[in-house]
């Protein structure tokens, strides 16, 4: 740990004299504090004062906020704490060549979202005045530098000297120990606070729940000390600390990373001590601006004012609970919070969608729309109109909000319109369900859950709508379905417990302590292209440096044991940068006939770990020879270079607004996600493929070179993604030497990216390129799936075959004889061919064309069938009319092959006899019965749906419909009995 942090002498005297503050002194300080809060401490200045304090006075490096989409961390939906971007340091997995590996003291303001997952404040937002889905976390970190004493002194100095918060308003909590875990109380921290001058009765011990912080079920953790603020003052508020009192709130948490939570739940001391602090900007600004509600600060008041102006609803009063009549103030808070979250997330590339973080954002947007339209009665588009106000408030700290304002507004407007349409559809479903309930006062939970999952209908909105009708919701079924859904998700999240490529923090530290050098993986780039056009990937000799088995480093493993192998050098590519890891095997000296297949390859903290199941005993120090699966590697190289060219071509054709949102390269195909409004047109798909084909045909050289990161970032046209890059960094350029790009900024446009992947040496090896899929994942983001080489050739051939089949079917539809059976057969062929076109790997532009043709054919055949059925139904209805023209109740059979024809006969008969109650049954050879009925509008004695349901249930089937028309099916061998039963049921109802 570094020497004691240097604090100016004046600071020490101030801190030490705090012990003898009199109440009069405190009162004077509070008066001075109150007189400046409203004018001096704007949110922008508070944020700036924090970062400058740590930068200028305590030599911290300022680090930009990471986007709210976590970098390569599947355990998180959103970045929910300031430490998320620093997890690789805490876990020991940081790339030793990256700038992050050099961090010792850093500070920043981090954008955080807590909605969904472990930390979920969504349902609390609006109900009180301090919960948020989006907030800013001010934090300072030490990684193996200072520890408890310095962290506490810095925090106290900032709060009491820089922000001038009265010390008597502040209370300190610390870890009071846990006997069951054998953890003693953190008396060291208590003594530090006492030495600073905090009164003993303001320093309070708490247990694991409040004062022991953990990253997750496993990983770095430790005791924490929290600073709380009493809004009231002039009293002892110790009993209100950690009691959920709105008067005494936590403002800063200082976490001391001392332990690692092991898989067996034990705690093991960390090899490096770290500090992780977090202070919510919103709560701090509330204090400094003399408010009791976060929503009364300048972070929110401009948005709330804009909501009032655009919605014309009553002014915001800041009420909560029963005092908030009609939940108007709650609606203000929900909308103000949610539009900040939507703006920040969309600017960072998280769009409303159907799974994961995208699904959570979709629910946030729909919750905001619901409060906007249902409670404030605001017009459509009001929500999006607030985005420029959000950008004005936060844009200085997060300039991407200014750049993306128009895109954010478009996405919010599009999703709002979609949800309003879903609301109408959902209301219709609710009304139909209520009609079918037959007086029941409990709404089916399965219907409510379906509305929630499929239409995005908020469950609380369903509950309110049902409450207005005096109906309750089946919450028991909903809870069961929600639990089943969560269990399915949990199964998807299950990680392979036998993985041996993820070294834990202790093993990584032990490797460093033992002096094991980081793996030299430069041989992965040692391949060449022969004159015969074939790539040669030479084997690589290496020494076993370490073996990892059972979560520990071991000297040897025996046959059959799964283990991680760390070598001094390797030619295997570890999974990173979106490219799949290499496959292959290695052999041990002296055992040339025994293969050790490599199952996975991962880069962990500078060490490349190869997962193998030992075919024979393997020991530290053994000499091995590694052989990469050349076909698999080459396939990945082809797809990776093609991905770069695709990225370049999209930007050339669609403009620089195209931003990469993700990619994955595997031997069989490539996937590329990018931001775009709408889907690509047929012409755009063709143009992109042609542009890529041109580069392939030119057989351009692919240039690679390592450069200092700062120099590489200056290359004109360089494309990067949100990743932590090593320094130096590898630059990949297609067609233009990197020296030309550095020396001549006017060089012709080309694909140039920072990339650690393995690439072709010439573009001609791609051979062919076909986009086999392009679709919108969520509003504003599309995904392309493409194939190359032989797969592309096969896709072309498959497309050609389907084109011929569609042309043949079109000709047969045009010349078909006019009969229902023939037209139905052709309609079925159209459906089967549509399925084939939808599912076959073929050029996407060609698929879209064929889909359009097939839709037209489907309309043609459906129209022909409908006309033929109407004509046939008219004849049958006329025959029945002659037979029953005087009857008010008609129950009879009709010869028809489909329920559609039966229904049309009933309709046409009812047109001829509008006062008659009609039911027709069609008895099929199989014994199946088709049933359709209709009763006059306003008939109170007999409901069509009840009639059809009763008859079809009697026949062992089911039915549905409205009070006027209904249809269903059943089965019987005695149609006469069925007719008699149907007629008797109707007469009984009519007579009753």
Q: Is 506 annotated as a binding residue?
A: no
Full 3-state SS string of 579-617: ECCCCEEEEECCEEEEEEEEEEEEEECCEEEEEEECCCC
Residue 455's contacts (CB-CB under 8 Å, 6 or more residues apart) are: 422, 425, 426, 429
Identify the bridge partners of residue 982 per DSSP, sorted by sequence position.
Answer: none
Return the axis-axis angle of helices 405-436 and 387-394, rounded to nearest 10°. 130
Q: 907: closest CA among 864, 965, 990, 854?
A: 965
Identify the bridge partners of residue 715 per DSSP, sorted by sequence position.
Answer: none
**CA 673 – CA 665 distance, rounded (Å):** 12
Full 3-state SS string of 513-580: HCCCCCCECHHHHCCEECCCCCEECCCEEEEEEEEEECCEEECEECCCCEEEEEECECCCCCCECCEC
**Cα separation values, 579 from 184, 566, 599, Å:** 47, 20, 15
**CA 591 – CA 319 distance, rounded (Å):** 78
Do 505 and 260 touch, CB atoms closer than 8 A?
A: yes
Cis status, amide bond into 728, omega within 30 of 0: yes
Do 422 and 790 touch, CB atoms closer than 8 A?
A: no
List alpha helices for 92-219, DSSP H: 148-157, 187-196, 208-211
Tokens of 281: 């900007």
**Per residue in 351-370, is it b (16+ CB within 10 Å) or e — as a string?**
bbbeeebbbbbbbbbbbbbb
**CA 368 – CA 346 distance, rounded (Å):** 15
Backbone region of residue 812 per phi and psi (left: phi > 0; alpha: psi in -120 to 50; beta: other values): alpha
Strand-pair category, 917-923 with 889-893 = parallel
Q: 107: closest CA among 51, 36, 186, 180?
A: 51
Q: Is 131 annotated as a binding residue?
A: no
**CA 254 – CA 157 distance, rounded (Å):** 14
**Cα separation values, 315 from 18, 43, 310, 829, 845, Å:** 44, 23, 12, 62, 53
**Cα separation values, 610 from 4, 573, 577, 579, 892, Å:** 42, 10, 18, 16, 76
For the CA atoms of 637, 638, 639, 642, what is the dihedral angle to 10 degrees?
120
Residue 814's contacts (CB-CB under 8 Å, 6 or more residues apart) are: none
Strand-pair category, 219-230 with 212-214 = antiparallel
Q: Is 644 annotated as a binding residue?
A: yes
DSSP 303-347: HHHHHHHHH-PPPP----GGGSGGGHHHHHHHHHHHHHHHHHHHH
Q: 212: closest CA among 185, 184, 175?
A: 175
Element (H, E) at 172: strand 170-175
Identify the bridge partners of residue 585 per DSSP, sorted by sequence position.
Answer: 597, 627
Do 869 and 875 touch, CB atoms closer than 8 A?
A: no
Q: Is 345 annotated as a binding residue?
A: no
DSSP 238: G
- Annotated binding residues for Zn(2+), written as ranges, equal 640, 644, 755, 759
- Annotated binding residues, written as ranges, equal 640, 644, 755, 759
């Amino acid at each position: 740990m570094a020497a004691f942090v240097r604090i100016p002498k004046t600071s020490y005297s101030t801190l030490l004299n705090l012990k003898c503050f009199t109440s009069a002194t405190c009162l004077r300080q509070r008066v001075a504090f109150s007189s400046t809060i409203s004018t001096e401490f704007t949110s922008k200045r508070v944020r700036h004062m924090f970062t400058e304090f740590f930068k200028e006075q305590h030599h911290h490096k300022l680090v930009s906020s990471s986007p709210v989409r976590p970098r390569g961390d599947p355990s998180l939906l959103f970045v929910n704490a300031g430490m998320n971007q620093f997890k690789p340091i805490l876990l020991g997995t940081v790339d030793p060549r990256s700038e992050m590996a050099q961090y010792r003291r850093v500070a920043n303001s981090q954008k955080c979202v807590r909605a969904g997952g472990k930390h979920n404040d969504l349902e609390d937002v609006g109900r009180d005045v301090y919960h948020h889905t989006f907030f800013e976390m001010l934090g300072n970190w030490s990684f193996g530098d200072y520890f408890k004493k310095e962290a506490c002194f810095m925090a106290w100095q900032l709060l009491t000297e820089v922000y001038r918060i009265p010390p008597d308003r502040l209370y300190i909590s610390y870890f009071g120990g846990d006997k069951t875990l054998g953890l003693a109380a953190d008396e060291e921290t208590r003594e530090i606070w006492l030495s600073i001058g905090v009164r003993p009765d303001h320093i309070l011990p708490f247990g694991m729940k409040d004062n022991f912080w953990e990253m997750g079920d496993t990983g770095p953790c430790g005791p924490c000390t929290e600073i709380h603020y009493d809004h009231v003052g002039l009293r002892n508020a110790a009993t209100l600390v950690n009691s959920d009192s709105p008067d005494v709130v936590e403002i800063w948490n200082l976490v001391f990373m001392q332990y690692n939570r092991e898989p067996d739940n034990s705690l093991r001391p960390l090899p490096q001590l770290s500090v992780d602090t977090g202070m919510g900007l919103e709560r701090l600004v509330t204090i400094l601006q003399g408010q009791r509600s976060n929503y009364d600060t300048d972070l929110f008041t401009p948005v709330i004012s804009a909501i009032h102006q655009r919605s014309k609803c009553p002014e915001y009063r800041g009420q909560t609970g029963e005092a908030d009549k009609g939940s108007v103030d709650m609606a203000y808070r929900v909308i103000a919070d949610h539009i900040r979250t939507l703006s920040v997330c969309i600017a960072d590339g998280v769009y409303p969608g159907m799974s994961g973080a995208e699904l959570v954002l979709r629910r946030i947007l729909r919750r905001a729309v619901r409060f906007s339209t249902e409670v404030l009665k605001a017009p459509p588009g009001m929500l999006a109109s607030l985005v420029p106000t959000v950008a004005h408030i936060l844009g200085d700290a997060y300039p991407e909000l200014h750049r993306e304002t128009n895109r954010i507004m478009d996405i919010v407007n599009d999703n709002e319109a979609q949800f309003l349409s879903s609301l109408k559809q959902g209301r219709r479903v609710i009304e139909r369900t209520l009609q079918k309930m037959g007086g029941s006062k409990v709404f089916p939970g399965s219907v409510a859950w379906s509305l929630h999952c499929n239409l995005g209908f908020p469950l609380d909105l369903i509950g309110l709508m049902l409450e207005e009708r005096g109906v309750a919701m089946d919450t028991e079924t909903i809870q069961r379905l929600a639990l089943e859904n969560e269990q399915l998700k949990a199964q998807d999240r299950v990680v392979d417990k036998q993985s041996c490529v993820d070294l834990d923090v202790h093993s990584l530290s032990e490797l460093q302590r033992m002096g094991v050098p980081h793996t030299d993986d430069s041989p992965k780039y040692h391949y060449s292209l022969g004159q015969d056009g074939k790539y040669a990937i030479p084997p690589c000799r290496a020494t076993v440096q370490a073996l990892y088995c059972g979560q520990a480093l071991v000297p040897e493993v025996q046959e059959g044991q799964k283990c991680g192998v760390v070598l001094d050098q390797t030619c295997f590519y570890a999974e990173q940068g979106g490219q799949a890891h290499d496959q292959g095997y290695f052999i041990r000296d002296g055992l040339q006939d025994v293969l050790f297949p490599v199952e996975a390859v991962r880069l962990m903290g500078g060490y490349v770990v190869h997962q193998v199941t030992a075919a024979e005993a393997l020991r530290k120090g053994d000499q091995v020879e590694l052989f990469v699966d050349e076909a698999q590697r080459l396939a990945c190289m082809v797809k990776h270079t093609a991905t770069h060219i695709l990225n370049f071509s999209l930007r050339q054709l669609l403009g620089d607004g195209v931003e990469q949102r993700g990619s994955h390269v595997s031997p069989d195909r490539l996937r590329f996600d990018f931001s775009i409004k709408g889907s690509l047109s047929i012409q755009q798909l063709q143009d992109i493929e042609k542009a890529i084909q041109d580069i392939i045909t030119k057989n351009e050289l692919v240039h690679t070179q390592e450069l200092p990161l700062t120099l590489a970032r200056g290359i004109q046209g360089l494309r990067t993604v949100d990743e932590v890059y090593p320094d130096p960094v590898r630059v990949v350029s297609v067609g233009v030497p990197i020296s030309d790009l550095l020396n001549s900024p006017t060089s012709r446009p080309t694909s140039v990216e920072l990339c650690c992947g393995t690439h072709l040496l010439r573009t001609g090896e791609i051979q062919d390129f076909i986009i086999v899929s392009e679709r919108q994942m969520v509003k504003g983001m599309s995904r392309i799936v493409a194939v190359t080489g032989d797969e592309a050739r096969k896709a072309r051939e498959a497309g050609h075959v389907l084109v011929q089949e569609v042309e043949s079917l079109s000709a047969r539809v045009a010349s078909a004889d006019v009969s229902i059976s023939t037209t139905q057969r052709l309609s079925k062929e159209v459906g089967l061919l549509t399925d084939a076109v939808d599912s076959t790997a073929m050029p996407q532009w060609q698929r879209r064309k064929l889909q359009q043709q097939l839709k037209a054919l489907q309309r043609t055949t459906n129209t022909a069938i409908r006309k033929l059925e109407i004509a046939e139904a008219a004849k049958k209805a006329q025959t029945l009319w002659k037979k029953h023209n005087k009857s008010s109740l008609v129950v009879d059979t009709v010869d028809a092959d489909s329920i559609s024809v039966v229904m049309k006969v009933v309709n046409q008969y009812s047109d001829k006899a509008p006062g008659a109650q009609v039911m027709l049954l069609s008895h099929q050879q199989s014994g199946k019965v088709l049933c359709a009925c209709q009763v006059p509008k306003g008939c109170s004695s007999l409901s069509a749906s009840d009639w059809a349901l009763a008859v079809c249930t009697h026949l062992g089937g089911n039915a549905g419909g409205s009070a006027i028309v209904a249809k269903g099916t059943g089965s019987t061998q005695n149609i006469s009995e069925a007719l008699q039963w149907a007629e008797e049921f109707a007469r009984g109802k009519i007579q009753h």
